[in-house]
């Protein structure tokens, strides 16, 4: 009988009460979210808008678990013809009330020709890996807003690129708009459940992560709502 290795866990709390260390990026041609750092945490106001927030870690970090506490006031406005049995994450409704991304270290770097044409968010992403080997991608853990369909299922189209035809915590994809984005469903949320949209998910511990990348958006669905992230914790487990 083999003895299991003991695992010692340590947690790193991402600071949410101060803008120190954060970058607020912009997408070309899309209004930016309004952002406030307060005693409540990181407050994000969405008004037909989208803009990522990035917090670079001081050094590459292995992460075994991601814990998030957050509340949403309001909801995504799903198109009328998609409300029965559909969910955010479709190519036509590619907004989420909360995506928490971890930037994975890798060996990808931008060539000089790519730097000339790359969007600002892509340049910012690769800058995070400039003092290391490079980056691999952003691994997002996504809250999917679901309508309350009669049959209880949230059906997505195959065009959205998800691994299953229904929204489930097993669903994952490489984003159809960028190979730099991997995405997993962390939680399926129906507005009737209440305001809490937090989650706790396991993370691949063999990877090294360089930054936290937060995406809260409403530009595709023309939505107006507020999100407050009150706690964001990265847990690292090291075998001893």
Q: How many CB atoms lie within 10 A of CB 201?
A: 15
For the cut 50, the answer to whether the pLDDT of residue 177 exceeds it is yes
**Kind of pairing, strands 135-145 and 172-174?**
unpaired
Range scoring the smallest mean pLDDT among 178-187, 203-212, 230-239:
230-239
Distance of CA 163 to the CA centre of its chain: 18
Question: With a threshold of 0.95, does the pTM exceed it?
Answer: no
Give whole-number Cα distances, 127 to 98, 109, 124, 205, 210, in Å. Answer: 24, 9, 5, 23, 11
CB-CB contact of 201 with 141 (8 Å): yes
For the chain, which domains are there? 13-239 (2.60.120)
Q: Looking at residue 159, what DSSP letter applies?
A: G
More confident site: 87 or 233: 233
């Amino acid at each position: 009988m083999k003895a299991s290795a003991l695992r010692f866990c340590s947690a790193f709390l991402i600071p949410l009460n101060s803008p120190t260390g954060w970058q607020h990026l912009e997408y070309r041609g899309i209004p930016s979210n309004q952002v406030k750092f307060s005693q409540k945490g990181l407050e994000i106001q969405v008004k037909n808008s989208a803009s990522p927030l990035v917090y670079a870690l001081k050094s590459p970090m292995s992460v075994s678990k991601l814990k998030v506490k957050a509340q949403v006031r309001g909801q995504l406005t799903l198109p009328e013809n998609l409300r029965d049995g559909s969910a955010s994450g479709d190519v036509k409704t590619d907004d989420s009330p909360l995506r928490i991304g971890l930037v994975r270290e890798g060996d990808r770097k931008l060539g000089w020709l790519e730097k000339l044409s790359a969007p600002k968010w892509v340049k910012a992403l690769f800058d995070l890996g400039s003092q290391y080997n490079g980056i691999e991608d952003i691994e997002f853990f996504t809250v999917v807003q679901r309508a309350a369909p009669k049959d209880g299922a949230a059906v997505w189209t195959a065009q959205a690129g998800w691994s299953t035809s229904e929204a489930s915590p097993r669903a994952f994809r490489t984003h159809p708009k960028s190979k730099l984005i991997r995405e997993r469903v962390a939680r399926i949320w129906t507005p009737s459940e209440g305001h809490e949209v937090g989650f706790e998910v396991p993370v691949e511990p063999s990877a090294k992560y360089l930054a936290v990348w937060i995406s809260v958006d409403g530009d595709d669905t023309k939505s107006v709502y507020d999100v407050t992230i009150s706690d964001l914790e990265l847990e690292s487990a090291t075998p001893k």
